[in-house]
Structure 1
Amino acid sequence: MSVLIAATALPCGLVIGLLLGALGGGGSILAVPALVYLLGQTPHEATAGALVVVAVGAVGGLLCHARAGRVRWAAGATFGALGTVGSYVGSRCSAALDAKVLMAAFSGLMLVVAAGMLLRGRRDRRGRAEAAASAVVAGAAPSSRPPAGDVRDSGAPRGSREPREPHGSRDPQDPQHPRDAPDLAGSRRPRPLRTVVTASSVGLLTGFFGVGGGFVVVPALTLVLGLEMPVAVGTSLLVILINSTAALATRAGTGALDWPLLALLAGCAAAGSHLGNRLAGRLRPQTLTTAFAVLVTVLALAMAATTLPDL
Structure 2
Amino acid sequence: MIAATAIGLGLLIGLSLGALGGGGSILAVPVLVYVIGQDARTATTSSLFIVGIAAVTGALGHVRSGRVRWGVGLAFGIVGVAASLAGTAANRLVDADVLLLVFAGVILLAAAGMLAQSRSSTNSPPERRLVHSGVGAVEAAPRAGAEAEPEAASSVTGGRHTGRRWTGAQAGKIVATGLLVGFMTGFFGVGGGFVVVPALVLALRMPMQQAVATSLMIIALNSASSLLARTGSADFDWSVIVPFTLAAVAGSLAGKKVADRLSGTTLTQAFAVLLIAVAVYTGTDSILGLAG
Paired amino acid for 1:91: T
Q: Which has the higher strand share?
A: 2
The answer for the alignment partner of 2:142 in structure 1 is: none
Could you tell which deviates more after superposition, 235-244 or 179-188?
A: 179-188
- 1:178-217 matched pairs, under 5 angstroms: 182-184=153-155, 185=162, 189-191=166-168, 192-217=171-196
Identity within the alignment, %: 45
The answer for the alignment partner of 1:276 in structure 2 is: 255
Size of the alignment, in residue pairs? Answer: 266
Q: Runs of 5+ in structure 2 lacking a partner?
A: 130-145, 156-161
Corresponding residue SS for 1:281: helix
1:9 aligned onto 2:10: no
**Cα distance in 2 between the residues matched to 1:296 and 1:268:** 21
For residue 130 of structure 1, report the CA deviation from its aligned partner.
3.3
The answer for the alignment partner of 1:169 in structure 2 is: none
Which of 81, 100, 105 is the aligned partner of 1:84? Answer: 81
1:242 aligned onto 2:206: no
The answer for the alignment partner of 1:63 in structure 2 is: 60
The answer for the alignment partner of 2:279 in structure 1 is: 300
**Cα distance in 2 between the residues matched to 1:179 and 1:193:** 15
Which of 116, 123, 126 is the aligned partner of 1:130? Answer: 126
Q: CA RMSD in A?
A: 2.3
1:115 aligned onto 2:115: no
Q: 1:232 to 1:309 in 2, by over 3 A?
A: same
**Cα distance in 2 between the residues matched to 1:276 and 1:126:** 27
Could you tell which deviates more after superposition, 109-118 or 238-247?
A: 109-118
If the length of structure 2 is used for normalisation, what is the TM-score? 0.84
Q: 1:176 to 1:248 in 2, by over 3 A?
A: closer
**Cα distance in 1 between the residues matched to 2:63 and 2:288:** 46
The answer for the alignment partner of 2:243 in structure 1 is: 264
**Cα distance in 2 between the residues matched to 1:289 and 1:177:** 28
Corresponding residue SS for 2:261: coil
Corresponding residue SS for 1:83: helix
Q: Runs of 5+ in structure 1 lacking a partner?
A: 134-174
**Cα distance in 1 between the residues matched to 2:98 and 2:251:** 31
The Cα offsets for residues 36-75 of structure 1, whole Å up to 9 and x where unpaired, read as 0111100000011100111111012112222332211222
Q: 1:260 to 1:72 in 2, by over 3 A?
A: same
The Cα offsets for residues 241-266 of structure 1, whole Å up to 9 and x where unpaired, read as 10011011111222221023101101
**Cα distance in 1 between the residues matched to 2:192 and 2:245:** 17
Q: 1:199 to 1:132 in 2, by over 3 A?
A: closer
Q: 1:186 to 1:230 in 2, by over 3 A?
A: farther
- 1:34-183 matched pairs, under 5 angstroms: 34-127=31-124, 129-131=125-127, 182-183=153-154
Q: 1:190 to 1:82 in 2, by over 3 A?
A: farther
The Cα offsets for residues 216-238 of structure 1, whole Å up to 9 and x where unpaired, read as 11122234444222211111111
Could you tell which deviates more after superposition, 300-309 or 240-249?
A: 300-309
